[in-house]
Amino acid sequence: MNHLLVTGGAGFIGSNFVHHVLGTTDVRVTVLDKLTYAGNRASLDGADKQRLRFIQGDICDATLVDELVASVDAVVHYAAESHNDNSLHDPSPFIQTNIGGTYTLLEAVRRHNVRFHHVSTDEVYGDLELDDPDRFTPTTAYNPSSPYSASKAGSDHLVRAWVRSFGVQATVSNCSNNYGPYQHVEKFIPRQITNVIDGVRPRLYGAGLNVRDWIHAEDHSSAVLAVLTHGEIGRTYLIGADGEMNNKSVVEMILELTGQPADAYDHVTDRPGHDLRYAIDSSSMAEIGWAPRYTSFRGGLAQTIAWYQEHEDWWRPQKQVTEANYARTGQ
């Protein structure tokens, strides 16, 4: 593989992947990104300009997508509307981008016989009880809760149908919650870190007992590259790093690492339909020789806090409008 098309490469996980690929391989990368409120061209600053081309455009634009897909060896598809809370207020762009955009890409890779990797989420499986001994596996039944997760579930089904019906050369990965640099301040961890920087108390939805299975974005990037190079066509891989923790414990760790009192947070209105727990069985990734490098969540979190402290120019322009949106729902 010499040339990748990365959709959503100016978003959180997409930009981490582009830096990872340019930093660890000789591959050239073309990024296709609409630059919605969640995309930021500055997230690609510092990348090797000789091997990176940036195209601002929509994955629903069939003519543009066809032209770009025809020029590459493989597509890695990250572009999406990604925030559950937003999907509860206006599901429409989630349906258009996550389902319509994935369809547009699949038709293009089908026409040009180009390898496709679809980046998806563990949320397609719904949630688990806190004491459930089982974790999500590639055979867990789909049971999405929010418009966001339902739209991602729909896109996963399209990919599988295009593999089976048309012989498209595709793989799918479903990953757990990512943290790390370049994550939008609407998301849980960067929201609380930047609140603390601003002297505002962190906000916990409900009792704060919901569990997420945290993985560093750098580990997600190495996992996607491993699936792209060693994955079996038609298979689904579950990516996780054994990082289960409830939200209250995450907030307490942020407070401790920033020198604040352990109880300096507030409980706010819960998310409607809030998934209780996600947990990943990542043995499908062990089969292809992948393992996470960030084995200490505390260490990765400390590094992430330092990144937000040092990159205020990156997140500051988004902070006020994000908090104004949350204020409307009492969150």
Residues annotated as catalytic are 122-123, 148
| Segment near ligand NAD (CB under 6 A); pick from 22-30, 46-54, 171-179, 257-265 | 171-179
Please identify, using beta-carbon distances, which residue of 172 and 330 lies nearer to ligand NAD: 172
**Cα–Cα distance between 37 and 253 in angstroms, integer?**
29
151 binds ligand NAD (CB under 6 A): no
DSSP-based three-state secondary structure for 295: coil
How would you classify the pairing of strands 203-205 and 236-239?
A: unpaired
214 binds ligand DAU (CB under 6 A): no
Q: Closest separation between CB of residue 135 and ligand NAD, Å?
A: 15
Instruction: Fill in the per-residue mask, 101 to 140: x = in contact with ligand NAD (CB under 6 A), - = not in contact.
Output: x-----------------xxx-------------------
8 binds ligand NAD (CB under 6 A): yes
292 binds ligand NAD (CB under 6 A): no
Could you tell me which residues come within 8 angstroms of residue 45 by beta carbon, excluding any fewer than 6 positions away? none
12 binds, among ligand NAD, ligand DAU, none (CB under 5 to 8 A by kind): ligand NAD
Among 33, 58, 123, 127, binds ligand DAU (CB under 6 A): 123
195 binds, among ligand NAD, ligand DAU, none (CB under 5 to 8 A by kind): none
180 binds ligand NAD (CB under 6 A): no
DSSP 192-255: HHHHHHTT---EEETTS--EEE-EEHHHHHHHHHHHHHHPPTT-EEEE--S-EEEHHHHHHHHH
Instruction: Fill in the per-residue mask, 78 to 117: x = in contact with ligand DAU (CB under 6 A), - = not in contact.
Output: ----xxx---------------------------------
In sign, the C-alpha dihedral spanning 271, 35, 125, 224 is: negative
Helices 297-310 and 247-257, axial angle in degrees (round to 10): 60
- Is residue 178 within 8 A of residue 217, CB to CB? The reply is yes
Q: Closest separation between CB of residue 248 and ligand DAU, Å?
A: 9
149 binds ligand NAD (CB under 6 A): no
DSSP-based three-state secondary structure for 177: coil
| Segment near ligand NAD (CB under 6 A); pick from 66-74, 174-182, 200-208, 255-263 | 174-182
Among 177, 221, 247, 284, binds ligand NAD (CB under 6 A): 177
247 binds ligand DAU (CB under 6 A): yes
- Is residue 34 within 8 A of residue 14, CB to CB? The reply is no
DSSP-based three-state secondary structure for 132: coil
**Cα–Cα distance between 47 and 22 in angstroms, integer?**
7
Taking CB under 6 A as the criterion, which residues in 248-277 touch ligand DAU? 271
Report the first-to-last Cα separation within the chain, whole angstroms. 45
The letter for the amino acid at 241 is: A
Among 122, 127, 218, 219, binds ligand DAU (CB under 6 A): 122
Could you tell me which residues come within 8 angstroms of residue 90 by beta carbon, excluding any fewer than 6 positions away? none
Task: Report the length, in residues, of the chain.
Answer: 331
CA torsion 36→104→183→280, rounded to 10°? 150
Which residues contact ligand NAD by CB under 6 A? 7-8, 10-14, 32-36, 38-39, 58-60, 78-82, 97, 101, 119-121, 152, 175, 177-178, 184
Which residues contact ligand DAU by CB under 6 A? 82-84, 121-123, 176-177, 187-188, 191, 203-205, 210, 212, 247, 271, 278
